[in-house]
Amino acid sequence: MAEKKNTPPRKPVRINFSISWIYIILLVFMGWMLFDQGSANPQKEEWPDVEKQWLAGDIKEIVFMKNTYDGKVTIRPDRLDKYSDKFGGVIPKKSPHFVFSVTPSFDPEDTFKELNATLPEGEHVVYKIESEKDFWGVLEWLIFPLLLILMWVFMFRGMNRNMGGGNGGPGGIFNVGKSTGKLAEKDSIKVTFKDVAGLYGAKDEVMEIVDFLKNPKKYTALGGKIPKGALLVGPPGTGKTLLAKAVAGEANVPFFSISGSDFVEMFVGVGASRVRDLFRQAKEKAPCIVFIDEIDAVGRARGKNVGYSSNDERENTLNQLLTEMDGFGSNSGVIILAATNRADILDKALMRAGRFDRQIHVDLPDLKEREEIFGVHLRNLKLAENFDVDFVAKHTPGFSGADIANVCNEAALTAARKNKEFIDKQDFLDAVDRIVGGLERKSMIMTLEEKRSTAYHEAGHATVSWLLPKAKPLFKVTIVPRGQSLGAAWYLPEERHVDTKEHMIDEMCSLIGGRVADEIHTGQPCTGALSDLERLTKMAYAMVTYYGMSEKVGTISYYDSTGQSDMAFTKPYSEKTAQQIDLETKRLIDEAYRMAEELLKSHADQLRELADLLLEKEVIFTEDVERILGKRKKDMAKESEQPVEVIAPESASIE
């Protein structure tokens, strides 16, 4: 017998099944479902076109689905040449050739019978009326859950293999711990300070940061340390993000941008992991800039009202951010820029020196800055000849850069709606009215009495504000309904930074002037002054409790600049003081009411004339008010002022 050879035992074959196969199977299945039914690509037709094809004898068969009101049309083979242009010159080999949709009122049985009656018997169209079976819905409920179960099984197997490496780091499931920040390389950043209009003070401060990044040895040679971070603080839309991009563009360094909310996740530890990964990437790209937009989403003060609004995950993320900013080397070349409009609620540890070393305030633009911003946004617009940029800048006080961009776009849309070739001054005024006051409600029906009441109300505002020297200068008055208001008085507020008590009293009189005019006209108050009364009450309370403008309450301010007053359960004053505050607030409002009443009663004829003019024109301007009430005292005082010539001493040298 032949000897048996000792053969080594065969190793079991292991099949390595990757999770990517799940995705491949899913894609193949979805592709099969989408491209099933052959390669037919039916064209969309309207029912009148299908009817013409039927009467011409071109249709072979129609299948109508009564539950979806859709029809499928098959053309006779010998008539397909007529429709080759609809298929790109290629005659389709598979049917259906056309599809159509109708409304539920369509009666297929009667319609098809009537059309067949017009044709010879040999050319009758074969039609079928069926109900489409929803095979896709059944497969969706059966196959997709099975595929999802399989996917999750393999995903968790991969998670168990990969999570051992570290504290929710980049090796976790789906790389959930990696930073979601967007990296812009230095060559791809085209924004410079030339693209940032206005913001003179802010640009001067960030220029230092640019110089730090360009010439770090200039400062380190003297023993200085490069600042680690700067916080951009300002109202929304003032250009904080644009300024940060301009810093990166001027310094010619990489730019990481991320939102504060991107650190917040439902999984524990993900936010801290993303912070670590972001700073790891930044150190690899140094020198660079990391920009965190809306940092208040993750940098809110810790330990306030524990048990009511605490968020351990957010606080852990903030702690990691504080640690990373401290962990930097003094000359690492990574500068953190952050933006917020709620600097008052940020954690004090975040604001200390060594983290965010400086705060850069990005305020609303003044007149000159608004002119520059308008110049940037007007570059690509077709403007009328002799367009006055200074005019539109003066009529947009308090507008941010984003608001100005919106005004320019809205003006272009307004001109396009009027079929104009160029954008003129009136289009910009209409755009400002629409943005501030809302859309004009032309369809609103008002009775004559309501119009007259509205006219008296707005005339009251205009009269009082015109006669008081410290009130805001009037621009125009309208009784055209916009948004929620039936009319409006438009002012051009003076760009001053400090208001006196006299200024505020005159503003209160102007606010209540509409209510007083209503009572003079009708003899009783009405509900149209709700918004005015709300602003009036808030202003009076602010004078007493914030600005210390009450003799009885005293020069005391209960304003909380930290923004935490809403979290307190008790008021910072006694009940007796609260009563004094209420009495003083009522006294200020009563005083404003009395002043407005005296003014309007002494100028009753002018008030009535102004209201009649409003009823006639619906919109009146400064010139109309000046013609009825005369020039303002303030304007007359300005005209009487003589310029004083200043002569420099002979010894002084003026460059």
pLDDT tens digit sequence for 467-493: 888 888 777 787 777 767 777 777 776
Q: What is the per-residue pLDDT for 564?
A: 56
- B/e letters for 138-162, b = 16+ CB within 10 Å, e = fewer, are eeeeeeeeeeeebeeeeeeeeeeee
Q: How far apart are CA 591 and CA 572, in angstroms?
A: 27
Q: What is the per-residue pLDDT for 583?
A: 92
Q: What is the per-residue pLDDT for 483?
A: 66
- Which secondary structure element, helix H or strand E, spans residue 478, and what is its range? strand 474-478
- Residue 120 near residue 78 (C-beta atoms within 8 A): no
Structure tokens at 415: 């001109």
Q: What is the per-residue pLDDT for 643?
A: 47
Q: How far apart are CA 580 and CA 570, in angstroms?
A: 17
Structure tokens at 167: 């504290």
Q: What is the per-residue pLDDT for 473?
A: 79
Q: What is the per-residue pLDDT for 570?
A: 62
Q: What is the per-residue pLDDT for 588?
A: 92
Distances, alpha carbon 441 to alpha carbons 432, 479, 482, 487, 648, in Å? 16, 11, 6, 11, 60
Q: How far apart are CA 46 and CA 309, in angstroms?
A: 59
| pLDDT lower than 70: segments of the chain | 1-40, 132-148, 150-189, 265-269, 303-312, 327-332, 442-443, 483, 493, 495, 562-570, 633-655
H-assigned helices in 418-500: 425-437, 448-467
Q: What is the per-residue pLDDT for 585?
A: 92
- B/e letters for 206-239, b = 16+ CB within 10 Å, e = fewer, are beebbebbeeeeebeeeeeebbbbbbbbbeebbb
Distances, alpha carbon 607 to alpha carbons 226, 390, 400, 454, 487, in Å? 64, 32, 35, 13, 16
Structure tokens at 639: 């005209």
Catalytically active residues, by annotation: 458
Q: How far apart are CA 317 and CA 277, in angstroms?
A: 12
Give Cα 38 to chain centroid, integer Å: 47
